């Protein structure tokens, strides 16, 4: 059954949004986030203090895509107001691991005594701080911060060994708390 679908998001105070060429740009002070919103049959408008997503002949799939886009937009608003922070810890038992940031990559040296260093990508607009055995990742973009944390965890994944004994690696200890849904 096809019906009209209309969802509205209120733009928080202090944030300005514009929509052009399927890209929604939200800015607050000096920080800015962009998100591509291109859903076939769905129109995006900015009216006064609201973002309006409408589908003339929507079905359940377009409804799902609209609701997902709303969640991403709300994450953008939350990130512009306060950055998303992931805390990670470096754990080693067998060989001391050393970390270094070079360009847009994190280099992990001496993981399990390996001679060749491993490296993980740091996404753009993500800040990484290393203090001893703790790593702090922060960004206004939730997806970029989360992907960078996942890259760090993945680069030190243990394979073909007993994970109860070989617990070396980089692990996410604390994630940002989820926002309000609705």
Query: For the chain, where do the domains classified as CATH 3.90.930.12 start and end?
Result: 3-81, 84-174
Q: What is the rounded CA–CA span in Å between residue 130 and residue 34?
A: 28
pLDDT of residue 57: 84
Structural tokens at position 164: 């109860």
pLDDT of residue 18: 95
- Low pLDDT (below 50) residues in the chain: 180-182
Q: What is the mean pLDDT of the chain?
A: 92
Output the pTM of the full model: 0.87
CATH 3.40.50.300: does it fit domain 3-81?
Answer: no
pLDDT of residue 178: 62
pLDDT of residue 166: 86
Q: What is the rounded CA–CA span in Å between residue 142 and residue 8?
A: 22
pLDDT of residue 1: 57
pLDDT of residue 181: 41
Who's near 34: CB < 8 A, 6+ residues apart? 23, 24, 25, 26
pLDDT of residue 180: 47
What architecture does CATH give domain 84-174? Alpha-Beta Complex (3.90)
Dihedrals φ, ψ of 173, to 5°? -100, -40
């Amino acid at each position: 059954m096809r019906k009209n679908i209309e969802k509205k998001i209120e733009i928080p105070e202090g944030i300005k949004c514009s929509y052009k060429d399927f890209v929604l740009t939200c800015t607050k002070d000096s920080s800015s986030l962009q998100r591509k919103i291109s859903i076939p049959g769905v129109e995006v408008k900015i009216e006064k203090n609201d973002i309006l997503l409408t589908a003339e002949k929507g079905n359940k799939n377009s409804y799902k895509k609209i609701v997902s886009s709303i969640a991403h937009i709300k994450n953008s608003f939350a990130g512009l107001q306060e950055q998303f922070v992931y805390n990670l810890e470096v754990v080693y038992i067998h060989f001391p691991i050393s970390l270094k940031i070079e360009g847009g990559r994190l280099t992990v040296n001496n993981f399990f005594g390996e001679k060749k260093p491993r490296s993980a990508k740091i996404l753009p607009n993500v800040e990484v701080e290393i203090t001893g055995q703790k790593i702090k990742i922060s960004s206004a973009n939730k997806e970029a911060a989360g992907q960078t944390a996942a890259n760090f965890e993945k680069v030190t994944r243990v394979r073909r060994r007993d994970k109860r004994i070989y617990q070396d690696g980089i692990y996410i200890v604390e994630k940002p708390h989820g926002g309000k849904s609705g």
